[in-house]
């Protein structure tokens, strides 16, 4: 039961904050040997994003488990030499500097592949390696705003809202990088060749906003876009309950909408599932009055045996204690030698060949530096002279 899918794969991780480290978290959790390369000053900025557990942030501890950490000053000649030595026996390198930085450091793909032709080199950046924005800084909110996601969340004239989930960093950055690396590993396995992967977080955010294409096509063809997935229809919306909580109704398919209408004794509403505009607002008001007659718990009990895509709007605290989350063992606690009990999410993939576990707690800054340098042949005195 311990045949990890990526066992034997070695990854050098130069990334920091969220997109790159989240990508390498999945690689590490699936068995890859991930080594975080951190600068001598403070290392990964994510270590200090509140709230802190004791020394490191809870976010850092959650997304950097099963990894090792070494300190390396890549601005110094010896630091670059050490990195090149490490890269010769590695399969993957991932970095998140601005375009051009790794070339200045002398550790870019063109340099590495001369020594290791099978290397997979993944660069995760805000806007990609090319284009007029390539050298600009950016964060999740910027990528969501450029891609149309922010504007799409607001009705005409209303102030757009900021998503509380880092859509761009996770979907556009981490998961796109993960997909590219896994595909390149298959190619590497079959051909023996490596390759360079240019991941633009903005590109990834836009490309994964597939429902946005319907708005684009609708506007070009002068078709009224009912915006199905943002609350313009009564079948896909949020409704307030008697105790001022909310229920989410997502009865997109007619069969679910029909079951819902029958359950609330409003068969007359069945023909109005996909209405928009004034008619939609009228149906929404009617349903709102119905939902305000019971508490959230009463409604969930009421719909317990009705399969119509209805769910409670939970807080994060409620979600982690939800029976489905518990049944899937999605919340785990690992004892960290310095931080104490660290609560984190489990690997959200269930494999038949191995059962996931946290083999290593998130590393302290440079925790494995001496051990790694020793394995490269450096003496204790030489290691001391490096710092």
pLDDT bracket for residue 1 (50, 70, 90): very low
Q: 334 in a domain, yes or no?
A: no
Q: 382 in a domain, yes or no?
A: yes
Residue 261 sits in a domain whose CATH number is 3.30.1540.10
pLDDT score at 387? 78
pLDDT score at 210? 85
pLDDT score at 374? 95
Rounded to the nearest integer, the mean pLDDT of the chain is: 93
HEC sequence for the chain: CECCCCCCCEEEECCCCCHHHHHHHHHHHCCCEEEEEECCCCCCHHHHCCCECCCCEHHHHHHCCCEEEEECCCCCHHHHHHHHHHHHCCCEEEECCCCCHHHHHCCCHHHHHHHCCCCEEEEEECCCCCCCCCCCCCCHHHHHHHHCHHHHCCCCCCCCCCCCCCHHHHHHHHHHHHHHHHHHHHHHHHHCCCEEEEEEHHHHHHHHCCCHHHHHHHHHCCCCCCCHHHCCCCCEEEEECCCCCEEEEECCCHHHHHHHHHHCCCHHHHHHCCCCHHHHHHHHHHHHHHHCCCCHHHHHHHCCCCCCCEEECCCHHHHHCCHHHHHCCCEEEEEECCCEEEEEECCCCCCCCECCCCCCCCCCCCCCHHHHHHHCCCCHHHHHHHC
* Over residues 288-311, mean pLDDT: 97
pLDDT, tens only, 152-209: 555 566 788 888 899 999 999 999 999 999 999 999 999 999 999 999 999 999 999 8
pLDDT, tens only, 123-139: 999 999 999 999 999 99
Count of structural domains, the chain = 2
pLDDT, tens only, 340-386: 999 999 999 999 989 999 999 999 999 999 999 999 999 998 888 88
Clarify whether residues 188 and 236 are in a common domain: no
pLDDT score at 149? 85
| Domain assignment of residue 23, given as a range | 10-208+351-386
pLDDT score at 134? 96
pLDDT, tens only, 8-32: 999 999 999 999 999 999 999 999 9
pLDDT score at 157? 63
Clarify whether residues 166 and 40 are in a common domain: yes
* pLDDT above 70 for 306: yes
Predicted TM-score (pTM) of the model is 0.92
Q: Please name which of 47, 37, 65 lies closest in space to residue 362, comparing C-alpha atoms.
A: 65
Clarify whether residues 17 and 145 are in a common domain: yes
Residues 6+ apart with CB under 8 A from 160: 150, 151, 153, 154
Q: Which of 283, 312, 341 is the last residue of a domain?
A: 312
Q: Which of 295, 312, 329 is the last residue of a domain?
A: 312
What is the rounded CA–CA span in Å between residue 64 and residue 70?
13
Q: 38 in a domain, yes or no?
A: yes
pLDDT score at 156? 61
Clarify whether residues 204 and 252 are in a common domain: no
Q: Which of 312, 336, 363 is the last residue of a domain?
A: 312
Q: Residues 50, 55, 56, 61: what is their CA dihedral angle, to the nearest 10 degrees? A: -120
Query: Cβ-count burial of 4 within 10 angstroms (0-12 exposed, 13-18 middle, 19+ buried)?
Result: middle
Clarify whether residues 193 and 308 are in a common domain: no
Q: 106 in a domain, yes or no?
A: yes
pLDDT, tens only, 317-326: 999 999 999 9
Q: 325 in a domain, yes or no?
A: no
Clarify whether residues 191 and 272 are in a common domain: no
Q: 223 in a domain, yes or no?
A: no
Clarify whether residues 14 and 116 are in a common domain: yes
Clarify whether residues 23 and 172 are in a common domain: yes
Clarify whether residues 307 and 277 are in a common domain: yes
Q: 151 in a domain, yes or no?
A: yes
Block residue for tokens 């710092």? 387
pLDDT bracket for residue 239 (50, 70, 90): very high
Query: Cβ-count burial of 348 within 10 angstroms (0-12 exposed, 13-18 middle, 19+ buried)?
Result: exposed
Q: 268 in a domain, yes or no?
A: yes
Clarify whether residues 42 and 171 are in a common domain: yes
pLDDT, tens only, 209-225: 888 777 666 656 544 55
Clarify whether residues 276 and 196 are in a common domain: no
Residues 6+ apart with CB under 8 A from 194: 113, 116, 117, 118, 119, 120, 121, 184, 188
Clarify whether residues 193 and 232 are in a common domain: no
What is the rounded CA–CA span in Å between residue 106 and residue 80?
7
pLDDT score at 223? 46
Residue 119: φ, ψ to 5°: -65, 140
Residue 377 sits in a domain whose CATH number is 3.40.50.10540
What count of residues does the chain have? 387
């Amino acid at each position: 039961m311990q045949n990890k899918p990526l066992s034997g794969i070695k990854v050098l991780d130069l990334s920091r904050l969220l997109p790159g480290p989240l990508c390498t978290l999945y690689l590490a959790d699936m068995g890859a040997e991930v080594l975080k390369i951190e600068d001598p000053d403070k290392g990964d900025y994510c270590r200090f994003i509140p709230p802190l557990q004791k020394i490191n942030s809870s976010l850092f501890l959650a997304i950097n488990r099963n990894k090792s950490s070494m300190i390396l000053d890549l601005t110094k000649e010896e630091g670059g030499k050490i990195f090149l030595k490490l890269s010769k026996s590695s399969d993957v390198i991932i970095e998140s500097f601005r375009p051009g930085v790794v070339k200045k450091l002398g550790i870019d793909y063109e340099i590495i592949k001369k020594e290791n032709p099978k290397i997979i080199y993944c660069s995760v950046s805000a806007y990609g390696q090319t284009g007029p924005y390539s050298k600009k800084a950016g964060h999740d909110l910027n990528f969501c705003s450029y891609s149309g996601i922010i504007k799409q969340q607001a009705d005409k004239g209303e102030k757009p809202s900021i998503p509380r989930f880092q859509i761009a960093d996770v979907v556009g950055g981490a998961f796109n990088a993960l997909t590219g690396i896994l595909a390149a590993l298959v190619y590497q396995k079959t051909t023996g060749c490596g390759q360079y992967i240019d991941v633009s977080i903005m590109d990834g955010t836009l490309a994964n906003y597939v429902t946005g294409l319907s708005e684009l096509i609708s506007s070009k063809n002068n078709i009224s876009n009912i915006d199905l997935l943002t609350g313009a229809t009564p079948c896909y919306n949020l409704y307030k309950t008697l105790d001022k909580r909310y229920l989410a109704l997502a009865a997109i398919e007619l069969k679910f909408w029909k079951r819902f209408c029958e359950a609330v004794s409003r068969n007359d509403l069945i023909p109005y599932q996909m209405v928009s505009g004034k008619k939609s607002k009228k149906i929404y008001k009617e349903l709102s009055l119905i939902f305000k007659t019971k508490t959230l718990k009463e409604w969930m009990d009421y719909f317990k045996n009705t399969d119509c895509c209805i769910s409670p709007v939970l807080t994060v605290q409620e979600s982690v204690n939800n029976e489905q989350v518990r049944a899937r063992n999605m919340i785990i606690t690992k004892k960290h030698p310095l931080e104490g009990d660290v609560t984190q999410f489990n690997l959200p993939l269930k494999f038949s060949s191995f059962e996931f576990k946290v083999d290593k707690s998130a590393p302290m800054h440079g925790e494995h530096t001496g051990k790694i340098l020793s394995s490269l042949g450096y003496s204790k005195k030489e290691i001391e002279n490096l710092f």
